[in-house]
Structure 1
């Protein structure tokens, strides 16, 4: 039996450190640790793919939390089934569950469905909040950094788009976009 570890965060700005430390503390060697910085809503992740290639019958994969392996119930069931067919078990450290045994597989399946439902609720709440903020006039996105009024004033003074672009150190297409926009 060999121990492998899998850690995942959703974005490149997040850190894998806490998960990696926990996996190493459980005895996972560095060369058997696989990581991804990608969403868990799909299973096409490089670290996960490499892990699937390395494990063999009798191996155990440690994952800090259930949602680190995946967020989609169907994908989780597919992954668990694929590993089970290879004779590989998965243990979720924080959740205290394992795919070893029939009850373990059932619990993991149920918790996967719960994780997916929670993800959907988070998305719904985020969208509701965004719509409410827009209704209140809050604008999203990056603040414009170009002084639009100055571009328009220069243009009204007869300065050409190329000259405005050079003077303000912006692209000529930006000048045209500003002149065409109504805001």
Structure 2
């Protein structure tokens, strides 16, 4: 029996440190911790695939939270089922749940469905907020750079491209993009 750990963050801006510390605190060795830095919306994650390939009968996979293993119910049920059939248990540190035993597997599947429903509600609220903000005139995306604004003024004054690029320091690609924007207005 081996303790195997899995940690995941959604973006490269987030840190795995807290999850890895939690896994180590329950006895998972460094060389048995598998990690990913990508969305959990897919199970095509290299760290997860390596973990599942490494895990054997009677091993225990430990995650800090359910949403680190999978975000949607179908993927979560698939992962839990594959492990359960191989005799591999999954434990979650934050709520003390485990797939050990028949009841444990059922509870995990129910909670995975609840987590997916919560994620859908969050996406709906986010989208509603975005629509309301757009209706209120809020613009999304990057703010125009000062050089771009200055270049647009020079383009409007019909200054040749070379002169615009020299005075503002913008690239040739940016010059032509700004010129196309002006022509399309």
Task: Report the count of equivalent residues.
Answer: 183
Question: 5 Å matches for 1:93-172?
Answer: 93-148=93-148, 150-172=150-172
Q: Any stretches of 5+ residues in structure 2 without a counterpart?
A: none
CA distance in 2, matches of 1:152, 1:6: 50
Question: 5 Å matches for 1:25-44?
Answer: 25-44=25-44
Structure 1 runs (4+) greater than 2 angstroms displaced: 146-159, 171-183
Contact 2:4–2:59 under 8 Å retained in 1: yes
**Worse-superposed segment, 71-80 or 153-162:** 153-162
TM-score by length of 2: 0.92
- Please state how far the C-alpha of 1:6 moved relative to its aligned partner: 0.6
**Worse-superposed segment, 75-84 or 167-176:** 167-176
CA RMSD of aligned residues (A): 1.6
CA distance in 1, matches of 2:55, 2:158: 70
Q: Which residue of 2 aligns with 1:173?
A: 173
Question: 5 Å matches for 1:57-96?
Answer: 57-96=57-96
- Please state how far the C-alpha of 1:134 moved relative to its aligned partner: 0.8
Q: Which residue of 2 aligns with 1:56?
A: 56
TM-score by length of 1: 0.93
CA distance in 2, matches of 1:69, 1:156: 54
Q: Any stretches of 5+ residues in structure 1 without a counterpart?
A: none
